[in-house]
Amino acid sequence: MILTVTLNAALDLTYRVPHLVPHASHRVREVTERPGGKGLNVARVLGALGFRTTVTGFAGGETGRTLRTLLAADGAGAGRAADGDRGSGTAAGTGGETAAVTDALVEVAGPTRRTVGVVDESTGDTTQLNEPGPHISPDEWERFLTAYRGLLEQDVEAVALCGSLPPGVPVGAYATLVREARTAGIPALLDTSGEPLRRGLAARPDLVKPNADELAGITGTAEPLRAARAAQRRGARAVAASLGADGMLLVTQDGAWSAAVPERLAGNPTGAGDSAVAGLLSGLAEGLPWPERLARAVALSAATVRAPVAGEFDEQTYARMLPSVRVRGAETP
């Protein structure tokens, strides 16, 4: 299975209002709730591709309870929920049936944070409000580490370490988790930003997936290829940088490639980065060559931009885009 870690999981609320006016009062027309946080989003996409996925991280309080109930309901609705031993090797890109996501979240005392996305129906734009997350005690962090080590002893093909850190978790947390994965012989992908990314790089993750801003933030270089090489020198074995509408750039020890879809797609980019992680991770788990992993990531990103619901991906767009993604060798600067 594939393991995703979300230390600062969230209950994602989406509010639709006719028109958002600062300092006014609004009746919300429609409310949707779903499990959120990068690693949970990645797991949802992997599940939709037919990969068995386990999620861990922290959950607590009534919001955590709601998150876990929704996660279980997602699984119950999935085509393969009752069939946990499906192999993951054949489904991706073939429109395979959905696999259930297994909940291995660690219960904590503090309540899981909420995020509120306010969609202005007059413009389609979203105003985002993100709670900081619960304070994690040293004891809770130790309990997580024990649970994480236990999961790594199972049949994990790859692990993704995703998102921000809640208060109380050591800033070097991802470095610790990368080292534990290497000790267990499991490839690790790191998708975070700022100081947690900087520290995580030093532990030599197999792959990091910053966006252009995050990459520039840690390397001081705005030119993507140069910045990706700099991130490699800081410890990442490979760097996949998401460049928005310009697609992705991948720098590895075997070569460098860039990839994009052949057409500009209008839509909502929310979750496109998480879908890219799912694409990279699924290709890693299957042992695909790097250019194919990259193509999958780019096609999934594009299919996410085109989906009517933020953070989901449009299966038809994915099936159409995957063979049309242009992967080119990237020049060294």
When binding is defined by CB under 8 A, the residue of 83, 107, 121, 125 that contacts its own copies is 125
| 208 vs 21: CA distance, rounded Å | 38
Minimum separation from the CB atom of position 20 to its own copies (A): 6
Q: Are 234 and 218 in contact (CB under 8 A)?
A: yes
Please say which residue, 192 or 282, places its beta carbon nearer to its own copies.
192
Secondary structure of 219-272 as H, E, C letters: HCCCCHHHHHHHHHHCCCCCEEEECHHHCEEEECCCCEEEEECCCCCCCCCCCH
| Helix, strand, or coil (residue 90) | coil
When binding is defined by CB under 8 A, the residue of 2, 3, 5, 17 that contacts its own copies is 17
Minimum separation from the CB atom of position 327 to its own copies (A): 31
When binding is defined by CB under 8 A, the residue of 72, 96, 97, 120 that contacts its own copies is 120
Q: Are 247 and 299 in contact (CB under 8 A)?
A: no
| 199 vs 103: CA distance, rounded Å | 28
Q: With CB under 8 A as the contact rule, which of the stretches 16-24, 37-45, 138-146, 199-207 interacts with its own copies? A: 16-24
In the annotation, is 83 catalytic? no
Contact status: 266 vs its own copies (CB under 8 A) = no
Strand-strand pairing, 30-36 and 10-17:
antiparallel
Contact status: 264 vs its own copies (CB under 8 A) = no
Contact status: 27 vs its own copies (CB under 8 A) = yes
Contact status: 127 vs its own copies (CB under 8 A) = yes
Q: Which of residues 50-69 bind its own copies (CB under 8 A)?
A: 61-63, 65-66
Max Cα-Cα span within the chain: 56
Residues in contact with its own copies by the rule CB under 8 A: 13, 15, 17, 20-29, 31, 61-63, 65-66, 114, 116, 118, 120, 123, 125-132
